[in-house]
Structure 1
Amino acid sequence: MSNENMSGGGVLAKSMAFSLGLALLFTLVANLLPQVEGEAPVEKEVDLGALTVESYTALGEALFSGKGTCTLCHNDLGRAPDILAIDMVAVANAHLKDERYKGKATDAESYLHESMVEPSIYVVKDYGKKGSNDTISPMPAVDKPPIELSEMEINAIIAFMQAKDGHDVTVPLPTEAPAAEAESTEPAGPAATLEEVVAKYSCQACHVILGSGGDLGPDLDKTIGHFSREEIHQSIVDPDAVIVEDFPPGVMPRDFADQMLVKELDMLVDYLAGSAQSAAPSPADHDGGNDSGSGDDDGVAAVISHFGCKACHIMLGIGGELGPDLDTVGSRLDAEEIRQSIIDPNAVIAKGFPSGVMPPNFSEQMTDEQLESLVAFLAEQK
């Protein structure tokens, strides 16, 4: 009996030791894994009374790679001049002498300031928007949304660009914070809405999203509903896995998704997948005066989304421009002509558009019901 008690006690002790060890192991692993919830870093306040040229320059360097999002494009990948690798004061002075320069700057400091707030006044050769003959810069004005640098912050970046190559800092040290800086427009904690997500992570610096933004990356509003949630999620988590044609790899930071909370990432994915309330309007919720009473609007919306019609055509005010605007197609073509243009897209080419863009087998991927639903909807767009 005594031996049985001792044996049972030994088993119990061993079980408790094993359970405790397992619990400690789980605790250790949990603390080693990256945390996906938590508050955003608190923005540092600048003590203007203690500000020196050196600390102002350091602030500019932090803004250059942080809030200013400069390094997204100005790096060694060739999308824009690699500012860290060139003497910006010498470059500025050279550009001022260029016969193409039409701005109002008179020295390097004013040129650098002008290039940040009015980037299209002078576009460096071969760095303009595609098709603009170097007359339009793809760079957004840094004093406007989504970047919205203050005058003090702009000058701090200029100070950094001057000092990094050994030049004198000519911008004045700020003596008082502008009223606009009293409150930060950036969400202090986790973003609660899609709009806050877009602002917090400066998505519009490179992409058109929610109706505005830059064109350094693909127009995301035109892709709504064109890709699955899995594909969108992957493109954010691993942005170089699949590169859209005409856009260079390496522009979007590879750790971009690591900076986001799970619920923020989900909001963005929901919007781009077309499943969020703030997503682009579909035929089902469009109030355009075309109340057919057919009850098929939801089906048309699914067809348009599934086959990515808006990637090439404007429909209900939103979409691409690779193909004709379909918002008024019903005033130009009858139902039979619309049906034929889908079945044989190269039979008649709209003026100003190239042939061969729309796949000739496009309609073969659709059921008869989907085709007729789309034809009926387009015939009503007048």
Structure 2
Amino acid sequence: MDVSSKIRAGWTWLAAPELWPGRRTAGEVVLALVLGIMAAGSEELLGGEGPRLAVVGIAAVVLSLLRRRMPGTVLAVTAALTPLLSGFAPLLMLVGWSAGRRIVGAGRALAMFSVAFVLFAGVTLQDSWSQQAPMTRLLLTTLYFLATTVVPGLASRYWTQRRTLLHALQERNAQLLWERELVAGQARLRERQRIAQDMHDSLGHQLALISVHTGALEVDPELTPRQREAVGVLRGASVTAMHELREVVGILRDGVEAPAPVDDSGRVRRGTAGIGGLVESARTAGNTVELRSAGEERPLAAAADHAAYRIVQEALTNAYKHAPGASISVELRYEPDSFVVEIVSAAAPTPAPGEVVSGGQGLTGLRERARLVGGMVHAGPADGGGFRGAG
């Protein structure tokens, strides 16, 4: 082991139990040197000279550096030397502060401070025993020790315990917050699973009945070809709805969007690749729908691709409900810095039969979906009648 390694190992031993950063290390060294200079300077003022000054200064530096590793021993040694070396008074205050927070256990701390007081008072009285009024001298010594050593030790111990308590309370508060979030997450998961189960049991059953009955009706020999085609559209729509229901139920149960199912016609594909299937389904249902694409096609981000599909789906659904039989134009524009979907529905040739069933949240949901991918949705009346939507 080289010299530098030994120095680092020794300094790690001194700094224990915590690791010091560079600034803290420099501060401790500077503080020890200042205390050493003060002790040597005070000794020189009292007539000391030569090697004695160096010994006093080095002793103050060493005791300052050892006060963390051996707080009780350094306290006792400093208390015994302070009556003999007046320059050790600042060091005694610092050692008392350090010992108060670093001696483990209240009983052990009381014992070490008592030993230090006995040494401090004994050396002081022995040095001045020939003087008169020894009890007065003992009283002053006691008050001095209380002010310079015991009070800093008690203040340090209180401050350390308060800081430890606050740290423990903060950790406990963080733990409680984490547990509360965990409980809330579990409650949300249970509610989502309950909703998913309800959707699966109720809507799944109804859609299965629609699919079965339309399948049976599709092969009824009494139907005309046009009627059979319309029933086929209904059956395909019910099958697609069942696929989408399974997808939503999977998201509610697991919180992860499952891959969209794909059939031969591509009706249930998500994203711009599935818009053609939506248009084809609309045409099969008897609507006149024109699909145009402008610009150089490019792959979109998954969220934006899915949002474009939903915008077209919602716009076509609104056109079916509010303007049955009207011609519809769907345009996909790949612009240099954006992707635009525009759906224009002409004025309805005849009013919609009966009351239109609507949840009233379709456009609101589309606007939020577009906002999440950095886009926007515009919807309103078109020139010459009809309705226009773009996103």
* TM bracket (short chain): under 0.3
TM-score (norm 1): 0.22
Between Structure 1 and Structure 2, which shows a larger proportion of helix residues? Answer: 2
Structure having the higher Rg: 2
Q: Which has the higher strand share?
A: 2
RCO comparison, higher one (Cα < 8 Å, 6+): 1
TM-score, normalised by the number of residues in structure 2? 0.21
